[in-house]
Amino acid sequence: MDCVIDVGGFDGRYVERLRNEIGFKGSVVSFEPAPESFGRMTRLLQNDPCWRGLQLALGSYNGTAVLHRFKSPDFNSVLSTSAFGRDRFRRDLDLVGEDTVEVRRLGDVFEDVTGGGTKKRVFLKIDTQGLDMQVIEGALPVIDQVVGIQTEIPVRQIYEEMPTFTGVVDRLAQLGFETVGFFPVGRDSSLLRVTEFDCVLIRPDRLTTAPPT
């Protein structure tokens, strides 16, 4: 594995787990558009010469978007919250502000953030609160260099205009990715229903060693 691209880096906790729990020592590039979260992440990566952070959102186009900031910053998203999301998470989804953020396609910044070359083997982690598939669509020009993906797949839509569970699985299968596992992220406690899964997938045709975790 040459590089992990961490889309929706938040405050850096995913990379901390990569380093401290999994032991990954390679290159990591984190994208986080929210100013406050990016600031916290920046303080961490200053002590890690193989970790780079960019204050950008990734998506399916180049331009700008309005990022909604909520009381619980874990939920910050370009998308508006759904009725289910507001009922399920209540005060956590109180809107506290908005920021205009820059959006880029991964295919357009890939060479810069990975150091170029046509044989890069990248693991793509995506946690964008509803926009994961837009990130993947923006990565299509370089998708052959992605050997594995970790993405959140909704079962219940917390935000408006989120893709469906089956739509995401079918699209990733079309791109050649096969499922390693589904891992529940949260549940509707009243009925024990899963709201989202973290899904890990690999591209067998690009994987010549053990899959990333």
Mean pLDDT of all residues in 128-148: 95
Closest CA to 122 of 37, 207, 9: 207
Q: Quick one: pLDDT at residue 153?
A: 95
Burial category of 108 from C-beta neighbours within 10 Å (exposed 0-12, middle 13-18, buried 19 and up): middle
Share of the chain above pLDDT 70, in %: 95
Number of alpha carbons in the 13 Å side-chain half-sphere of residue 151: 24
Q: How confident is the model at residue 2 (pLDDT cuts 50, 70, 90)?
A: confident
Q: How confident is the model at residue 120 (pLDDT cuts 50, 70, 90)?
A: confident
DSSP string, the chain: --EEEEES-TTSHHHHHIIIII---SEEEEE---HHHHHHHHHHHTT-TTEEEE--EEESSSEEEEEEEESSGGG-BSSPBPHHHHHHHGGGG-EEEEEEEEEEEHHHHHHHHHT--S---EEEEE--SS-HHHHHHHTGGGGGGEEEEEEEEESS-SBTTPPPHHHHHHHHHHTT-EEEEEEEEEEETTTTEEEEEEEEEE-GGG--SPPP-
Mean pLDDT of the chain: 92
Whether the predicted pLDDT of 127 surpasses 50: yes
Q: How confident is the model at residue 213 (pLDDT cuts 50, 70, 90)?
A: very low
Share of the chain above pLDDT 90, in %: 84
99-112: per-residue pLDDT in tens?
999 999 999 999 99
28-72: per-residue pLDDT in tens?
999 999 999 999 999 999 999 999 999 999 999 999 999 999 999
Dist. CA 114–CA 112, nearest whole Å: 6
Q: Which pair of tokens denotes residue 204?
A: 């067998």
188 or 84: which leads in pLDDT? 84
Pair 196, 154: CB distance under 8 Å: yes
Q: Quick one: pLDDT at residue 57?
A: 97
Domains of the chain are: 3-206 (3.40.50.150)
Whether the predicted pLDDT of 15 surpasses 70: yes
